[in-house]
Amino acid sequence: ERLEPWGTKYVMLTDGRWLCLECLESDSIMNTYECVPLHYEIREFFQGLNMKVEKEFPLLLVEKEALAKAEKEEKIVISILT
């Protein structure tokens, strides 16, 4: 749960999440495809620090519930293996 400032207007997204109007009008990243340019900017940033990321990996944006479920399942698998 998060704190929300007084007087801020929000809109409900199609997936049930709420987004403030300021974020909606900004360059908010709303899906995986919109995240790709940011991903490349981050890679270029690290390359500029002589820390080039050689490995390619998938990039997926997921909802909070899906991430929590995956973390829980991973902990179960790790506890079984150790």
pLDDT of residue 1: 59
pLDDT at residue 47, rounded to an integer: 95
Domain ranges of the chain: 30-81
Contact at 8 Å (CB) between 28 and 21? no
The two three-digit tokens of residue 70, written as one number: 């995956």
- Is the CA virtual torsion 29, 30, 34, 40 positive or negative? positive
Question: Quick check: 82 pLDDT over 70?
Answer: no
| Confidence at residue 49, expressed as pLDDT on a 0 to 100 scale | 97
pLDDT per position as a tens digit, 11-61: 888 878 788 888 888 877 878 888 888 889 999 999 999 999 888 888 888
